[in-house]
Every structure is written in C-alpha cells, then in structure tokens.
Amino acid sequence: MITRHFGIPVTSPGAILRREKDLGTPLGLETDEMLQRGDLVPDKTIVKLIEDWLHLHGGYGFVFDGFPRTLPQAESLGSILKSLQTSIDAAIWLDVSEETVRSRISGRLQCRTCGFTTSVGSAQFANRPICPYCEGRLERRSDDNVGVLQQRLREYNSKTQPLADYYGKMSILRKIDGNRDRDAVFGDISQIIEGKASA
C-alpha cells in the first residue's frame, strides 16, 4: 500500500529471500530451510541483501518491513546509510499482541508476485484468490504454522524487542497500535511518512 500511495519502494528480507528461492539460487534454497523452521537468517546474510537492495532502489527514499530485527542488523544498517550519506527518518514500531499475531498468521494470504497481503476471511477474495494489483495468486505461506510462530515469538522477544530502546534513544521511534484494522494502522503510518516528507 505504501508504494502505491507514496511511490516509495518497500521491501523486506522475507520478500527478497522468497524471490531468491523462486529463482532457485543456492542462497534461496539454503535460507528457505531456516525460514521453514522459524529461525532467523544470519545477520551477515540479511545485511548484505539489504545493502545490495539499497544500492539499486534506495536513492529516493525507502521503507523496510521487518528490518532490522536485531541490534547487530541495526548497527550495520546505520553504517551502510552513513556511507550512502542518508539516514533513517523514523522507526515505526507496530505494537501488536500475541493473540492478534496468532489470529492474523492463521488466516494470512500473500501474493507471491508482489507481496500484497490479505486474509482468508476477506469477502473480496473468498471465491477468487487473485491479487487485485498484479493478478498473481494469493496463497498461504508455507511457514505460517503454529510451530514456526512459537519460534518466531521467542526470537522476537530475545532479539527484536531491544530495538525499541535502541531507536528510542535516537528519538526516531514511533509506536503505533497495530491491533486495529488495516485502514486505521495505514492512516497512522501515512501521517508519519507525510510528516517526514514535508519536514
């Protein structure tokens, strides 16, 4: 939604790695096994993918979804952005309960082509699971299951939660209640982006 609304390129480590898997690269096949278990891909691998992506797409602003996830990733990103003579305007933290996460994961559908995400309960896609933006097929992700979710939550609590303090000390952390519906959350994110764009 952000790219379509603002024209800002958006990516995530997961999207990059799924593309590598679809291409059948050694990296894609190796990391797919990690993702299936719910493990985090090594920081060095993720940072290199993001750095390569930035050199191709980061010249006119960017948004990362789910990156960084660890303090080493955040520190590496800071160094990369410094070398590119740019910086982070805001770190948006979607504050979501575990109950909400479980509910959304259990019903998530994602377009394998462009990454658009919706839910199996959406009336719009109940009878025709086709992406409205690129005509790609909406599918359940193979790593969306209870066992993997439990591992993700453990990884989150031990490795990702500390980022709130890290970006809070830099005075760029912006917390949003992510338990609400998509439009309300997107409205808050839009205000942050628009505020930074006009600053």
Q: What is the pTM of this model?
A: 0.73
Q: What is the per-residue pLDDT for 70?
A: 92
Enumerate domains of the chain plus CATH numbers: 2-96+160-198 (3.40.50.300)
Residue 139 banded pLDDT, cuts 50, 70, 90: confident
Mean confidence (pLDDT) of the chain: 86
CA 10 – CA 30 distance, rounded (Å)? 24
% the chain with pLDDT above 70 = 93
Tens-place pLDDT, residues 154-170:
888 888 889 999 999 99
> Is the CB of residue 54 less than 8 Å from the CB of residue 80?
yes
Residue 126 banded pLDDT, cuts 50, 70, 90: low
68 Ramachandran zone, left/alpha/beta (phi>0; psi -120 to 50): beta
- Name the helix (H) or strand (E) containing 88: none
